[in-house]
Chains A and B, each alone.
Chain A
Amino acid sequence: MTPLDDLLSAAGRVGEITPGQLRHARASLNPAIAMAGTADPAGGAGTVAARPRPTGSGLRRKFALGGIAVAACAALVIVPVLVDAGGPGVEASAATLLHAAGNAAARQQGGWPDAAYWDVVSVYQRDGKTYHREIWVSHHGQSVLRDTGVSGGVLPLGPGVFPAGGTSLTWDQLYALPTDPAQLSAALQADVKGAGPDPQSELFTIVGDLLRESPAPPALRKALYDVAAGIPGVHLTGKVTDTLGRTGTGVERGGETLVIDPADGALLADNEGDGWSATFVSQGPADSAPAASPSQSTAAAPAAAS
């Protein structure tokens, strides 16, 4: 059981209905039954109805269906989704760009094996609303999160863990990952069975995750870009200007687009093509983090639109 399943399971534990409650609610059904028995069944005034079931065409591709489903459920910014219909080769220009980004990333300074926190500032959009997020991922202790899409306070989280294959790595284990692309690819794909639309998509997603809110050292970042360069179906979407006005190049696979600055190997933005996208303002090591103050938290509210 993953930590997420464990958390959901704990949060879903509730008491059973008592026999008294069961009888009481049953008794209050009787007047409605009596009324329904005399009313025209077709003329029910109920305003509460199950939603009609969409008749999805089996010809539609998975992600096209996903986009339609979202549109039916919420007002969203619909981003056109490219579906890779051709053979699953590696686009040469995408591979070249990713290798270049990896080489640029590897020219950065050494790494942060002993930092206390990894501090990441981002702005993300969900359902057309904009939120500000800063996470201090802890090496050994409690991570904290300030996220306007979550609460008004600073929430305590557990120590940082990072996804790799079907498991999670600690900060120190992240630093022990192989930086040979073939070995890294194998390590990241271990136990991914069943995750994602297919193993290659999942690998691309994991690469994105490890570039996103993790203290991966430059050598590992280079290896991650090299792994991405070998994933079939990865292709360029062209020059992209992110919400901060920075220019990068979009690399897309399976509806998820990573916007990369090839000049320094930085991940600028991530667009998942279903109404969720994030722009990474900054990330780096930190000695300390704010104290958790979840008591300020009220019902999650959107930040002022920007």
Chain B
Amino acid sequence: MTDHERSDRLLLAGLPEQPALIGVLYERHAPAVFRFLSRRAGPAAAEDLLSEVFVAALQACGRVVAHDSGSALPWLYGIAGNVLRHHLRDARAGVAAHDAGMDWDAVEARLDAQARRGELRAALSALSPAERDLLLLVAWEELTPAEAARVVGISQVAARSRLHRARMRAARALQQPAGPLPDYPLVANQENLT
């Protein structure tokens, strides 16, 4: 079996002994981690921070196991979120605490209409940081609620309940219906996401 055929689970298990395996994880997941960073802080910051995420992952790898789904992405997003918060704290001292991890200017720059920007801000501001992280990990990164639960450090059952509340609250802030929670599997069963 070549490194490229190994599942994320095996790669993570081997990482403490074979740090070069981070290169395989990088090739597999760097585009997704880049999108994660770019969505929250813009493409320039994403370019700057991408390697930092994988360096931090390498340093933290002794203390990680893969998510039940087998994917390393929930773990990598957790690290990327921390890297992003450190970066934004340094770059924008004094910003309100609940904006940690999100550069509004970069996010709003992607929406053309002023009304849409107001809607996005109103919707996301209605959420606690943990709710917002959860909602966006599912909506943007397309994690299952179970995988997103791992990133924000809560149980799978709690994640589903909180995700629904987050959608409800965001929709309410817009005077909109949240709609039903999409029919996600409670436990992801794919071996990995490649």
Instruction: Name the CB-closest residue of B to A22.
Output: B30
Task: Please name all residues of chain A whose beta carbon is closer than 8 Å to the beta carbon of B114 when the two chains form the complex.
Answer: 156, 292, 294
**Contact mask B158-181 → A, CB, 8 Å, 1/0?**
110110110111111111111111
Chain A minimum-CB-distance residue to B86: A48
| Docked CA distance A28–B98 (Å) | 32
- The interface size of chain B toward A, counting residues with CB under 8 Å, comes to 92
B120, A11: Cβ atoms closer than 8 Å = yes
B143 contacts the other chain (Cβ, under 8 Å)? no
Q: Which chain B residues lie closer than 8 Å to A17 at the CB level?
A: 30-31, 34-35, 46-47, 50
The residue that B126 contacts in the complex, of A7, A33, A149, with Cβ under 8 A, is A149
The answer to whether residues A54 and B153 also contact, given A14-B38, A147-B125, A151-B121 and a CB cut-off of 8 A, is: yes
Q: Is the CB of A194 within 8 A of B180?
A: yes
Q: Is the CB of B161 within 8 A of A63?
A: yes
User: Would A145 and B60 count as touching, CB distance under 8 A?
Assistant: no
User: Which residues of B sit under 8 angstroms from A44, Cβ to Cβ?
Assistant: 59-62
Contact indicator B125/A164 (Cβ below 8 Å) = no
Contact pattern, A 12-47, Cβ under 8 Å of B = 1, otherwise 0: 111111000110111011001100110001101110
**Residues A147 and B181 in contact in the complex (CB < 8 Å), given A3-B174, A29-B22, A49-B60:** no
Asked if A161 and B176 make an inter-chain contact with CB atoms under 8 angstroms apart, the answer reads yes
State in angstroms the CA–CA spacing of A164 and B179 once bound together. Answer: 9
A contact residues, total (Cβ < 8 Å): 95
Contact B119 A158 (CB under 8 A): yes
Please name all residues of chain B whose beta carbon is closer than 8 Å to the beta carbon of A49 when the two chains form the complex: 60, 63-64, 79
Does B104 lie within 8 Å of A299, measured CB to CB?
Answer: yes
* Cross-chain contact A300 with B39 (CB below 8 angstroms): no
The segment out of A242-250, A257-265, A269-277 that lies at the interface is: A269-277
Is B155 a contact of A56 with CB atoms below 8 Å? yes
**A13, closest chain B residue (CB):** B110
A232 on interface, CB distance cutoff 8 Å: no
**CB of A162 within 8 Å of the partner chain:** yes
In the complex, chain A residues 255-306 whose Cβ is within 8 Å of any chain B Cβ = 272, 274-276, 292, 294, 297, 299-302
In the complex, A79 has a CB within 8 A of chain B: no
Interface residues of A in 44-91 (CB under 8 A from B): 44-46, 48-54, 56, 62-63, 65-66, 68-70, 72-74, 76
Contact B154 A73 (CB under 8 A): yes
In the bound complex, what is the Cα–Cα distance between A269 and B95 (angstroms)? 30
User: Contact partner of A4 among B59, B78, B167, CB < 8 A?
Assistant: B167
Which stretch (B3-11, B128-136, B186-194) binds chain A?
B128-136
Q: Which of B35, B55, B95, B158 contacts A56 (CB 8 A)?
A: B158
CB of B130 within 8 A of CB of A10, answer no
Q: Is the CB of B177 within 8 A of A163?
A: yes
Contact of B34 among A21, A72, A127, A195 (CB under 8 A): A21
Interface contact B128-A74, CB-CB below 8 Å: yes
B139 within 8 A of A: yes
Write the nearest CB–CB distance from A275 to chain B, whole angstroms: 7
Q: Which residues of A contact B20 (CB under 8 A)?
A: 33, 37
The residue in chain B whose Cβ has the minimal distance to the Cβ of A124 is B126
Residue A137, interface by CB 8 Å = yes
**Docked complex Cα distance between A142 and B113 (Å):** 13
19 sampled A-B residue pairs with Cβ under 8 A: A4-B170, A4-B178, A11-B111, A17-B31, A25-B26, A25-B30, A26-B51, A36-B58, A36-B59, A44-B60, A48-B79, A65-B158, A70-B130, A147-B173, A158-B115, A160-B175, A194-B181, A274-B162, A276-B128
The residues of B with any CB-CB pair to A shorter than 8 Å are 16-17, 19-20, 22-23, 26-27, 30-31, 34-35, 38-39, 43, 46-47, 50-51, 54-56, 58-64, 75, 78-79, 82-83, 86, 92, 95-96, 98-99, 104, 107, 110-111, 114-123, 125-126, 128-130, 135-136, 139-140, 150, 152-155, 157-159, 161-162, 164-165, 167-183
The 10 closest A-B pairs by CB, nearest first: A46-B59, A155-B118, A56-B155, A194-B180, A2-B179, A51-B153, A36-B19, A163-B177, A69-B154, A73-B130
Given contacts A126-B126, A150-B173, 17 further A-B pairs with CB under 8 A are: A7-B116, A11-B111, A12-B136, A16-B35, A32-B22, A50-B75, A62-B158, A65-B155, A155-B122, A156-B115, A157-B119, A160-B175, A191-B180, A194-B180, A194-B181, A197-B164, A294-B118
